[in-house]
Amino acid sequence: MGVTVVKCGGAVPAEAVCADLADHVGEVVLVHGGAPEIARLSGELGVASRTLVSPSGVTSRHTDPAMLDVVTLALTGRAKPRLLRSLAGHGIPAVGLTGLDDGLLQARRKAAQRAVRDGRTVVVRDDHSGRVTEVRPRVLRVLLDAGFVPVVSPPATGEDGAPVNVDADRAAAAIAAALGAERLVLLTSAPGVLRDASDAGSLLGRCALPHEGPVPHAASGGMHRKLIAAREALLAGVPRVSVSDGRIPHPVTAALGGAGTTLEIS
């Protein structure tokens, strides 16, 4: 049986996703983000949440050292335990991991990056985010073979061994590629890719992504990264990639049955 990688957005209710994985134990890897938990915890701890805007206009989280701690705590201390508890409640054997476990996700930190601030381009050097450069899937294979659902989130392992925040969608894409997965399902808090992000009725059944260059339809940084991740997975040989609604009953079964948006390379 082929592997399916399911990425669950932070705003997706965990319960229905977890219940829906019972039929896929040993063939599914669950990857998660946690934007709402990160926002909440940064507020509780009084760590300012700041955004970087690239010269091309793409926004991302400014992960300074304090925010890296918040991200790690929110993902490993809140988002992941919630998923593990829910999986356990459905009798599903699951193990939580980050990209630091056995070097699962290797990443290169952006030591210096250009950003636009107050209309001027500045160089930001204290950002601890980066890109996945390699996946070492051994620990995932061991767990899958033993009948566990691995539950994976950032951070990844930097070149110096220190944690590096990475985008969870792109991490899921890299994991799917490394495992030779048959499916990548990106569950989010939208019906799929919408032609018009403000019109829930404008769902695209299919969405063609160009080989390179700008991706269409993304009205936010979050959806932009999701489509980039989908393209990376497709180009790396993952045959079926979809963005689907995580807020409906049986969201994984629905996505595997064709609900949401199927991505393809144009």
Residues of the shown chain interacting with Mg ion in the complex, contacts defined by CB under 5 A: 222
Nearer to Mg ion, 36 or 103 (CB): 36
C-beta atoms surrounding 64 within 10 Å = 18
Q: Give which of ligand ATP, Mg ion, none residue 155 binds (C-beta under 5 to 8 Å, depending on kind).
A: none
Q: Pick from ligand ATP, Mg ion, none: which does 34 bind, CB < 5 to 8 A by kind?
A: ligand ATP
Nearer to Mg ion, 192 or 222 (CB): 222
Q: To the nearest whole angstrom, how small is the minimum distance from the Cβ of residue 144 to ligand ATP?
A: 22
Q: Residue 234 CB, nearest distance to Mg ion (Å)?
A: 18
- Residue 151's φ and ψ, nearest 5 degrees, are -120, 105
For CA atoms 112, 76, 99, 265, give the dihedral sign.
Answer: negative
Cis peptide before 155 (omega within 30 of 0): yes
Residue 222 sits in the site that holds ligand ATP (CB under 6 A)? yes
Q: For the chain, list the strands marked E by DSSP.
A: 4-8, 28-32, 51-53, 59-61, 94-99, 105-109, 113-117, 120-124, 130-135, 149-157, 163-164, 183-188, 206-209, 240-245, 261-265
Burial level of 51, CB count in 10 A (0-12/13-18/19+)? exposed
Distance CA 263, CA 266 (A): 9
What does 223 bind: Mg ion, ligand ATP, none (CB cut-off 5 to 8 Å by kind)? Answer: ligand ATP
State the minimum distance, in angstroms, from the CB of residue 23 to Mg ion: 26
30/190 with CB nearer ligand ATP: 190
Taking CB under 6 A as the criterion, the residue among 73, 139, 197, 235 binding ligand ATP is: 197
Site for ligand ATP in 6-65 (CB under 6 A): 9-11, 33-35
Closest to Mg ion by CB, 137 or 222: 222
Shortest Cβ distance from residue 192 to ligand ATP (Å)? Answer: 7
CB of 186 to Mg ion, least distance (A): 9
Distance between first and last Cα of the chain: 28
215-to-142, 210, 237 alpha-carbon distances in Å = 36, 7, 19
CA atoms within 13 A on the CB side of 262: 12
Among 6, 97, 149, 194, binds ligand ATP (CB under 6 A): 194
Measured from the CB of residue 118, what is the shortest distance to ligand ATP in angstroms? 25
Residues that bind ligand ATP (CB under 6 A): 9-11, 33-35, 168-169, 188-190, 193-194, 197, 217-220, 222-223, 226
